[in-house]
Amino acid sequence: MKPPPFSYHDPRTVADAVGLLGSLENAKLLAGGQSLMPMLNMRYVLPDHVIDLNRIDGLSYIRANNGALDIGAMTRQRDIEFSDLVRERCPIMHEAICQVGHRQTRNRGTLGGSLCHLDPAAELVSLAAAHDAKVTVAGKNGTRSIDFSAFPVAYMTPALEPDEILTGASFPCWPAGHGYAFIEFSRRHGDFAIVSAAVLIEEDASGKVRRASVTLGGMGPAPVRASEVERALAGEVIEEKRMREICESLRKLDAIEDIHAPASYRQQLATVLPRRALLKAHERIAERARR
Amino acid sequence: MSETRKISLTVNGTHYEETVPVRVTLADFIRHQLGLTGTHLGCEHGVCGACTILLDGHSARSCLMLAVQADGHDILTVEGIAPDADTLHPLQEAFRDNHGLQCGFCTPGILTTLIEFLRDNPDPTEEEVRIGISGNLCRCTGYQNIVIATLDAAKRLKDSPVPAPRGSQRTPA
């Protein structure tokens, strides 16, 4: 298996990359290559030009920025996995990224590549939805910011103009002491999730939920925020029976059907995984209080 | 005519200056152009892990990289693990002694993966070993003896440490 013939470009700056993207016909951006390279090897994609982003300086960083974590598009998944700052400020990201592929793919795979490839079951895509992330993109007219909720426009299609490049994402952090859990169901460790649940919760001093974020991945073309459940959780104390009731409503969500699972199976998972994630998130708050 | 590029890189401590077609994967470059056929190609789309090499000390699937992307980098393949032609690395010895391989096709990828794994986690649990090799497929062993061999290798490396193979340490990109 060999990639098809193409011209190779390795710009050193974002501006050069944007320039190439705007002037070349049928060009494809190469980030970590963990999705594009298999597609090239199998000739699912036949670009005339490959623009390699790996030699651009300044797109790999993890920085605290006021109440948010800013992460560069070319930051390797491995660097996110082993970042103390991520564990401290955005612990769910650590938990999720350990479930992304394998060590060998995380060493190369990038945040930006995953967000732009936009696989419906990708952990980082779900995480960006769960965290109300904003992505920054650069084009010939400068940069703009897009709410992640508006980023997926269709199946594996991000809201990028043809000459735009994603340069980074900003994840608003939840307050210290929040509860979190990322749980996914897949047949083998490292596979894409059949369904995943990302949960963030904040509780008040009496243990009642003040704010909740509940996201399901793998159900449709883009992650789904379970806003009805988020609202229903407000003021609730998290315990098994009540969570079972609240999460039952998620069975109504639309779900895709594919070789991995029928829709009804995904809908069943949609009631189970968020409940488990909520209980785990709550348990983490309780555990911290006991220490 | 395929577009080509000049690249320079280090493989197993040896420096190479080569001209490569830009569409050639790092795996094919290592096998066909450098003649280092220890790196195996199974699936060629990033699933089986047989082609795993270390790039600046980090394991990567060489079928999912272009050879041009390795320009300026330091690579370790399975040929570079043993200290010399007559001596096996303790990890390799442990695989031999514990029947950690049968047909041997997956072994180069598993060994390179484990060189990084044991460097970062010298005292792993069985569970951690299983997760560590979850990106490598083996159709012969059922993994049991691979896990046993890895735990044995960790013990051997602790009891009598050997110098790290050239190119197995993390280097700044």
Query: pLDDT tens digits for A6-48?
Result: 999 999 999 999 999 999 999 999 999 999 999 999 999 999 9
* Same domain, residue pair A67 and A153: yes
Number of structural domains chain B divides into: 2
Tokens linked to B7: 């690249």
How far apart CA A24 and CA A75 sit, in angstroms, is 26
How far apart CA A201 and CA A199 sit, in angstroms, is 7
The pLDDT score that the predictor gives to residue A1 is: 64
What's the CATH number where A283 sits? 3.30.390.50
- Geometric angle at alpha carbon A136, from A212 and A109, rounded to 5°: 85
Answer whether B59 sits within 8 Å of A107, measured CB to CB.
Answer: yes
* Same domain, residue pair A166 and A233: no
- Rounded to 5 degrees, φ, ψ at B17 are -115, 120
Please tell me which residue of chain A has the smallest CA distance to B5.
Answer: A8
Answer whether B65 sits within 8 Å of A189, measured CB to CB.
Answer: no
ipTM over 0.90: yes
Q: Is A17 contained in some domain?
A: no
Quick one: what percent of chain A has pLDDT higher than 70?
A: 100
Q: Please, which residues bridge with residue A213 across strands?
A: A200
In chain A, beta strands by DSSP E: 7-9, 27-30, 49-52, 62-65, 68-72, 134-139, 142-147, 152-154, 157-158, 165-172, 179-185, 195-203, 209-217, 224-225
Q: Is B171 contained in some domain?
A: no
Q: Which of A141, A172, A203 is the last residue of a domain?
A: A172
Q: Is A36 contained in some domain?
A: no
Q: Please, which residues bridge with residue A117 across strands?
A: none
* Same domain, residue pair B95 and B72: no
State the number of CA atoms in the 13 A half-sphere of B77 facing the CB: 23
Q: Which of B80, B101, B124 is the last residue of a domain?
A: B80
* Same domain, residue pair B62 and B116: no
* Same domain, residue pair A168 and A256: no
The pLDDT score that the predictor gives to residue A183 is: 97
How far apart CA A5 and CA B40 sit, in angstroms, is 23
Nearest Cβ partner for A37 among B5, B65, B116: B65
pTM value? 0.95
Q: Could you tell me the residue range of the domain that residue B62 belongs to?
A: 4-80
Nearest Cβ partner for B135 among A2, A37, A102: A102
The pLDDT score that the predictor gives to residue A114 is: 98
- Geometric angle at alpha carbon A213, from A168 and A283, rounded to 5°: 115
How far apart CA B161 and CA B124 sit, in angstroms, is 16
* Same domain, residue pair A85 and A167: yes
Reference A105, options A42, A185, A32, A156; nearest CA is: A32
Residue A46 CA to its chain's centroid (Å): 26
How far apart CA A208 and CA A206 sit, in angstroms, is 6
Tokens linked to A170: 């900003």
Read off the pLDDT of residues B86-117 as tens digits, 9 standing for 90 and up.
999 999 999 999 999 999 999 999 999 999 99
Q: Is A49 contained in some domain?
A: no
Please tell me which residue of chain B has the smallest CA distance to A109.
Answer: B60
Q: Is B58 contained in some domain?
A: yes
Whether residue A33 contacts residue A108, with contact meaning beta carbons closer than 8 Å, is answered with yes
Reference A226, options A198, A257, A262, A258; nearest CA is: A198
Reference A127, options A103, A102, A100; nearest CA is: A100
Nearest Cβ partner for A108 among B64, B116, B132: B64
* Same domain, residue pair B10 and B73: yes
* Sign of the Cα pseudo-torsion (A124, A120, A100, A2, in order): negative
> Mean pLDDT throughout A128-151?
97
Please tell me which residue of chain A has the smallest CA distance to B49.
Answer: A104
Q: Please, which residues bridge with residue A154 across strands?
A: A157
B48 interfaces chain A, CB cutoff of 8 Å: no
Q: Is A81 contained in some domain?
A: yes
Q: Which of B62, B80, B98 is the last residue of a domain?
A: B80
* Same domain, residue pair A232 and A280: yes
Q: Which of A149, A172, A195 is the last residue of a domain?
A: A172
Contacts of A54 in chain B (CB under 8 A): 69
Tokens linked to B143: 């993994």
Least confident interval from A117-126, A169-178, A182-191, B118-127: A182-191
* Same domain, residue pair A82 and A157: yes
Q: Is B172 contained in some domain?
A: no
Low-confidence ranges of chain B (pLDDT < 50): 173
What's the CATH number where B103 sits? 1.10.150.120
What's the CATH number where B72 sits? 3.10.20.30
Answer whether A190 sits within 8 Å of B64, measured CB to CB.
Answer: no
Number of structural domains chain A divides into: 2
Q: What b/e string do you get for B24-60 counting C-beta neighbours within 10 Å, with b at 16 or more?
A: bbbbbbbbeebebebbbbbbbbbbbbbbbbbbbbbbb
B4 interfaces chain A, CB cutoff of 8 Å: no
* Same domain, residue pair B94 and B55: no
Pairing of strands B4-11, A224-225: unpaired
Smallest CA–CA separation between B125 and chain A, in Å?
17
The pLDDT score that the predictor gives to residue B172 is: 57
The pLDDT score that the predictor gives to residue A258 is: 93
What's the CATH number where A120 sits? 3.30.465.10
How far apart CA B134 and CA B48 sit, in angstroms, is 10
Q: What is the residue-averaged pLDDT of chain A?
A: 96
Would you call B44 helix, strand, or coil by DSSP?
coil
Q: Which of B57, B80, B103 is the last residue of a domain?
A: B80
* Same domain, residue pair B76 and B20: yes
Q: Which of A172, A196, A215 is the last residue of a domain?
A: A172
Whether residue B114 contacts residue B52, with contact meaning beta carbons closer than 8 Å, is answered with no
Q: Could you tell me the residue range of the domain that residue A86 belongs to?
A: 62-172
* Same domain, residue pair A229 and A159: no
Answer whether A41 sits within 8 Å of B113, measured CB to CB.
Answer: no
Smallest CA–CA separation between A200 and chain B, in Å?
26
Residues written for chain A: 291
Answer whether A5 sits within 8 Å of B46, measured CB to CB.
Answer: no
* Same domain, residue pair B153 and B95: yes
Taking the CB of residue A87, how many other CB atoms lie within 10 A of it?
14
Q: Is B143 contained in some domain?
A: yes
The pLDDT score that the predictor gives to residue A290 is: 87
Q: Is B168 contained in some domain?
A: no
Whether residue A129 contacts residue A119, with contact meaning beta carbons closer than 8 Å, is answered with no
Helix axes B144-159, B107-120, angle to 10 degrees: 40
* Same domain, residue pair A281 and A189: yes
pLDDT surpasses 90 at A189: no
* Same domain, residue pair B74 and B102: no
Would you call B17 helix, strand, or coil by DSSP?
strand
Whether residue A162 contacts residue A170, with contact meaning beta carbons closer than 8 Å, is answered with no
* Same domain, residue pair A108 and A209: no
Reference B69, options A109, A101, A30, A102; nearest CA is: A30
Q: Is A270 contained in some domain?
A: yes
